[in-house]
Amino acid sequence: MKIQSIGSDYRFNSLNKSNRNQLVFGWEPAIHKSWGANFKKEKNLTNFKLFSFPDAKAVILEITKNTKLKISDWWNHKVNIKEPEKLASMSTAAAIAAISPLDENSKMFPMEHKGEGIYEINDVDVQPGDGYRFVVVQKDGTLNTVKDPYSKKQENIHGWSTVYDPDNYEWKNTAWLEGKDPRRIKRDPEAALRGLDNLIINEVNIPTLTLDGTFQSAKSQIDKIAKNKNATAIEIMPVENTFSKQWGYDGVDKFAVNEKLGGAVGLKELVDYAHGKGINVIMDMVPNHIGPEGNYLSKTGPYKKRAAKFGDIPNYEGENSKYVRDWMVNAALWWANEFKVDGIRFDLTSDTESDWLLRQIVIELNHHNPDVFLIAEDHQKKRHSITSYWNNDKISHDDNVNFIDTSIENNRKGFQPVVPWSIGFDSEWDSQYKDAVSKMALTPNNTLLDEIDQYLPTTHYRVHYAYSHDEIGNWDGTRFIPKYLVAHLDLFNKINGNGDQDKGQRAAQAAQKLAELVVSKDFGNMTDEELNEKEKEFGLHTNVSKGNLMDAFNTAIAKQRLILGTIYTTPGPKMFFQGDDVADLSHFKFFREFSHEKKHRAEDPSIEQNALQKYGYDYLEEIARPDSVIGRVTPKGMFKDLKKNMQTYTTDLRAVLDNNPEIKSGKIIATYKDNNHNVHIHHIKDGEAEVLVIKNFGWGFHNNEYGYDGFPNNGTKWVEIFSSDDKKYGGMGFTNSHRSDITRENQHLSLAPNSFIILKRIG
């Protein structure tokens, strides 16, 4: 069957408009915010609105002012039902009359069905802090007590929702919010890059940013980021509500902030604090699945499409899916409006299995929050549609959304399928760039230069990076330096294990221990014999000499500088993971804990063994999280200056970008591959400004004798403005900084192994 792609030339007038009811959905902010529990301060009363089963027999609102009852688990507080076996055959009125609260502290109110599964009740005597839930009676008599899909405060993932206080915070940095602070990065629809070329993102995980793992304690790290001046933004991994502190991708309450991190007020304080320090804030949200615990959506209404690897995939394009899409769209609007974030990053957009949902998110956010930039993690080999943007100025916002409804409904009925040719995110994570850079750093060879050469020039609007939480935590919980030790020292073949996965994990953990040993205060005086005893403790069956270990470790540090330099000098937005800017050696392990985890483990010891087999460590939050806090490993002894050197390095890199804006927003006009030496060069130009970035991924020392055929042949002179091998960064000091006579005919460059230099055209 042919798939029709809809681009900028479609004509809405030839299609039937959907019958969206302004009472249940609209395009004014108040309508978007009308779902869930909405406290009306002027009345001191609350309105409630829920999307449930269109054919439900009844939906009843239950409220409680008893705090202890409110946070209790469902199974401790059911409801009374007269003759439950007859519930299916009762009329709606009789079914409502047959149900009463079990606890004297709660009250019940029938909700009115407005059509299409929308249930409402207004002016209920409930204030912020009070608890509520919904009792859904399906047509077959099944009765479910469920929390609110729009819950904006959820103190227990299995408990009652809490009425949210809309006036819980007064914003301080109003100049930032009004766009008057020049440090704010705003989406500009008129510019090709929409302003994102100024983004240097530090991806952070609140639970491991500090030992306390809260929004309040995270402010100390914001201070450091602002002081070091090596990033313009932080990207906060999801804080959607889960049972424990964790990565955040198991979120089940898409509007509620995890209370263990500090709740909504704590997040607002952190965002406001970051703005005050000149740091933009990007929020990571998860539209592609619902976490595996605390998910009551399939009992609430037709929210579920199917179960998948990471949790249920929502019903974005099936029967009765219109308000499910609205639910996720409104979640994105909620993060933008309520928490004043500057951008939103959407996790694994390809796994939503609905480009129409993504298109609707873009339409709504661009309409209501035109300055908020949108970043996708798509990983579909740079499919054009995810970031391409159709010019729909002549199509009204209402018609855009109605067209999505109509297209999905027609697709569902078996008409010629229609998919959006253009979705319109402002940027996306560039996974191909990431793969090329990280592979070249770990296993340099001249064939990999082809990948660098292919992907580096095409990333102007994409976020380029080498490591995120995924590449660190999902692989083995170790950062680049231990990963390099595994590759360079061939630790996989120096360790025993049951199969490749087990050996790989054991090798990674041995490398982590070796790295921590090297930066300990005692390593400098350690003999080879003492080192070999330690290596046996770490599980190695073949010795690694002290000299080889030191060589590998120093090379890994140089390569970490080279990775960061490659990222920083690629025009467009860029990103690094927390701690990588200072070569932090702490783990970043995958960690989470479910509400009955410890009970299940006591009954089944294989759960822990399976975790160790899969990850190489135990993923329990109380075990893995403290081990992953940045700064846990403090370099001492021979490497006591490692952190200071790296801080200076990334601060200076940022200054080079600020002083040479062509590196941020220019165009790569040429590249060169020197396969003989594993060197790659890219040439950036913006107007009259030009720079050359010469990256040595190889082992060769070039002392006043390096040159390449592709050097610009325009009669100009060049001067070195940066070298990653400077001694103040921990390098060997190879430099061309004293020269002002560099030309094509007189190159004679000094270039250290695993380093890069930047040359700027003069005159």
Which domains can be identified in the chain, with CATH numbers?
12-20+183-192+199-429 (3.20.20.80), 35-162 (2.60.40.10), 666-762 (2.60.40.1180)
Kind and range of the H or E element at 436?
helix 431-442
Q: 303-317, 331-345, 611-625, 744-758: which has the minimum mean pLDDT?
A: 611-625
Task: Please state, in angstroms and rounded to a whole number, the distance separating the CA atoms of residues 98 and 57.
Answer: 13
**Residue 40 contacts residue 31 (beta carbons within 8 Å):** no
3-class state of residue 64 by DSSP = strand
Residue 723 pairs in a beta bridge with: 757
Total H helices, total E strands in the chain: 23, 31
Which candidate, 687, 686, 755, places its Cα nearest to that of 197?
A: 686
Query: At 22, is the pLDDT very low, low, confident or very high (cuts 50, 70, 90)?
Result: very low
pLDDT score at 444? 81
Q: How does pLDDT run across 80-92, given as a tens digit for each residue?
A: 999 999 999 999 9
Share of the chain above pLDDT 70, in %: 94
**Residue 720 contacts residue 712 (beta carbons within 8 Å):** no
Whether the predicted pLDDT of 551 surpasses 80: yes
Query: At 396, is the pLDDT very low, low, confident or very high (cuts 50, 70, 90)?
Result: confident
pLDDT score at 390? 61
* pTM over the 0.85 mark: yes
pLDDT score at 394? 56
Q: How does pLDDT run across 385-395, given as a tens digit for each residue?
A: 899 866 555 56
pLDDT score at 710? 94
Q: 58-72, 346-360, 704-718: which has the minimum mean pLDDT?
A: 58-72
User: Measured between alpha carbons, how far is residue 473 from residues 216, 533, 650 in Å?
Assistant: 24, 29, 23
Q: How does pLDDT run across 493-550, given as a tens digit for each residue?
A: 999 988 888 899 999 999 999 999 999 999 999 999 999 999 999 999 999 999 999 9
Q: Report the 10 Å Cβ neighbour count for 114.
A: 13
pLDDT score at 611? 85
Across the range 103-108, mean pLDDT stands at 89
On the CB side of 153, how many CA atoms lie within 13 Å of its CA? Answer: 22
Query: At 11, is the pLDDT very low, low, confident or very high (cuts 50, 70, 90)?
Result: very low
User: Average pLDDT over the chain, rounded to whole?
Assistant: 91
Spell out the residues 6+ positions from residue 121 whose beta carbon is closer than 8 angstroms to its own: 47, 48, 61, 109, 110, 111, 112
65 against 567, higher pLDDT = 567
Q: How does pLDDT run across 362-387, given as a tens digit for each residue?
A: 999 988 998 999 999 999 987 888 99
pLDDT score at 101? 92
pLDDT score at 309? 86
Query: At 221, is the pLDDT very low, low, confident or very high (cuts 50, 70, 90)?
Result: very high
CA dihedral angle for residue 205, residue 206, residue 207, residue 209, rounded to 10 degrees: 80
State the DSSP code for 353.
S
pLDDT score at 71? 73
Which candidate, 567, 328, 374, places its Cα nearest to that of 468?
A: 567
Q: 58-72, 196-210, 253-267, 726-740: which has the minimum mean pLDDT?
A: 58-72
**Residue 215 contacts residue 271 (beta carbons within 8 Å):** no
pLDDT score at 578? 97
Query: At 188, is the pLDDT very low, low, confident or very high (cuts 50, 70, 90)?
Result: low
Residue 190 tokens read as 């008129």
Backbone angles phi, psi at 301, to 5 degrees: -175, -170
**Residue 560 contacts residue 583 (beta carbons within 8 Å):** yes
Across the range 403-421, mean pLDDT stands at 89
State the DSSP code for 86.
G
Task: Please state, in angstroms and rounded to a whole number, the distance separating the CA atoms of residues 403 and 6.
Answer: 11
pLDDT score at 1? 38
Q: Report the 10 Å Cβ neighbour count for 732.
A: 14
Whether the predicted pLDDT of 410 surpasses 80: yes
Residue 152 tokens read as 């904006």
* 89-97 contacts, C-beta under 8 A, 24 or more apart: 89/141, 90/57, 92/57, 92/58, 95/57, 95/58, 95/137, 96/58, 96/60, 96/137
pLDDT score at 18? 38
Which candidate, 168, 169, 164, 167, places its Cα nearest to that of 48?
A: 164
pLDDT score at 506? 93
269 against 19, higher pLDDT = 269
pLDDT score at 419? 87
